[in-house]
């Protein structure tokens, strides 16, 4: 992707990404975050949640892939930020839940840098807000 | 139980640098379900101009995350109940990608502790620097302690 070819408002893509219990277990191990809310239904319910929830950082990572795939080089990402607005509740089913991720170019910042804004929703409701990445393109 | 405000402004650092390995980067990439070859193949990473495999943008959480790198926030005297904590916000600013072979030092600051309605909010800012002392990444992490504000509905 080249800076001069990028237009404000252009889509950077749309993906449907499944999230299953096994993904959370694997992320517990890889990240070192074994908070019970991510794997123990009893603990989640004690905390007032309907069921276990995905790590916010897992969701942030999955959403970020839309940006890194678009940029071509994951090392081109200069900034990446999200707000976690709604827990991603993951039932113990084969299907799990599906995140719908979309993004578009929001601004050309000069110096080869482009800001993209993304949305991530589950069953029609946003799970992240203020999702923004800055990417330096060649 | 409310969070101990004495920790506001507390600075911390990891006892020793974090050594980034190809194996850990690959494990993390598998866990987030991202097949990008730049996370696995030195040749693919070099083709993009990097000296070795690079880490996904959210990889710094492995280094700065829960109970790691000298952070006080899950020590008992901090007063935070792990079972009530949700992640509120995360921001990263990268000077360059993290890559295999990096030895990253961690310096952190408990930048904010405040009530937010019935909840308490804790903001931790962390700097990662390489073995030459060059900054690599700044992370800003906001945690929400649900229902624990003194004025709120906490138990």
Tell me if chain B has a CB within 8 Å of the CB of A138: no
Name the closest residue on chain A to residue B95, using Cα atoms. A78
Q: Does the structure show a pLDDT above 50 at B155? A: no
pLDDT for the residue B152: 56
Tell me if chain B has a CB within 8 Å of the CB of A36: yes
User: How far off is chain A from B5, nearest CA to CA, in Å?
Assistant: 23
DSSP-derived secondary structure for B99-155: BTT-EEEEEEEEEEEEEETTEEEEEEEEEEE-TTS-EEEEEEEEEEETT--TTTT--
CA distances from A48 to A41, A53, A128, B108, B152 (A): 11, 11, 20, 31, 16
| Closest residue by Cα to residue B114 from B12, B11, B5 | B5
pLDDT for the residue A30: 96
Q: What is the dihedral of CA B92, B97, B102, B105, to 10 degrees?
A: -20
Tell me if chain A has a CB within 8 Å of the CB of B54: yes
- Asked if the interface predicted TM-score (ipTM) of this complex is over 0.90, the answer is yes
| Distance separating alpha carbons of residues A75 and A32, to the nearest angstrom | 23
Q: Considering CB atoms only, which of A23, A68, A79 is closest to B33?
A: A23
B57/A17 Cβ within 8 A: no
Handedness of CA B104, B110, B112, B117 (dihedral sign): positive
Q: What is the pTM of this model?
A: 0.94
B32/A27 Cβ within 8 A: yes
Tell me if chain B has a CB within 8 Å of the CB of A113: no
User: How far off is chain A from B20, nearest CA to CA, in Å?
Assistant: 13
CB A116 within 8 A of CB A103: yes
A23/B31 Cβ within 8 A: yes
Flag residues of chain A having pLDDT under 70. Answer: none
A and B: number of Cβ contacts within 8 A: 124
- Give the mean pLDDT of B104-112: 95
Q: How confident is the model at residue B68 (pLDDT cuts 50, 70, 90)?
A: low
pLDDT for the residue B13: 92
pLDDT for the residue B82: 78
């Amino acid at each position: 992707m080249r800076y001069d070819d990028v237009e404000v408002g252009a889509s950077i893509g749309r993906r449907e990404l499944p999230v299953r219990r096994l993904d959370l277990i694997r992320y517990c191990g890889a990240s070192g975050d074994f908070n019970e809310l991510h794997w123990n239904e009893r603990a989640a319910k004690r905390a007032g949640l309907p069921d276990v929830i995905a790590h916010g950082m897992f969701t942030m990572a999955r959403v970020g892939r839309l940006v890194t795939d678009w940029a071509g080089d994951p090392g081109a990402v200069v900034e990446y930020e999200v707000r976690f607005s709604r827990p991603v509740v993951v039932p113990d089913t084969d299907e799990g839940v599906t995140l719908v991720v979309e993004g578009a170019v929001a601004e050309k910042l000069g110096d080869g840098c482009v800001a993209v804004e993304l949305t991530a929703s589950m069953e029609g409701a946003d799970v992240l807000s203020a999702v923004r990445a800055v990417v330096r393109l060649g | 139980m409310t969070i101990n405000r004495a920790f506001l402004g507390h600075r911390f650092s990891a006892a020793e640098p974090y050594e980034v390995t190809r194996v850990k980067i690959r494990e993390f990439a598998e866990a987030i379900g991202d097949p990008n070859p730049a996370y696995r193949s030195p040749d693919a990473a070099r083709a993009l101009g990097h000296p070795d495999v690079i880490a996904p943008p959210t990889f710094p959480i492995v280094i700065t995350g829960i109970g790691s790198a000298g952070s006080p926030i899950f020590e008992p005297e901090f007063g935070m109940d792990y079972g009530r904590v949700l992640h509120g916000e995360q921001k990263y600013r990268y000077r360059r990608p993290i890559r295999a072979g990096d030895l990253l030092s961690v310096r952190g600051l408990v930048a904010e502790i405040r009530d937010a309605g019935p909840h308490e909010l804790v903001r931790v800012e962390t700097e990662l620097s390489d073995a030459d002392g060059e900054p690599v990444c700044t992370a800003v992490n906001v945690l929400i302690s649900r229902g624990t504000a003194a004025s709120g509905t906490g138990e």
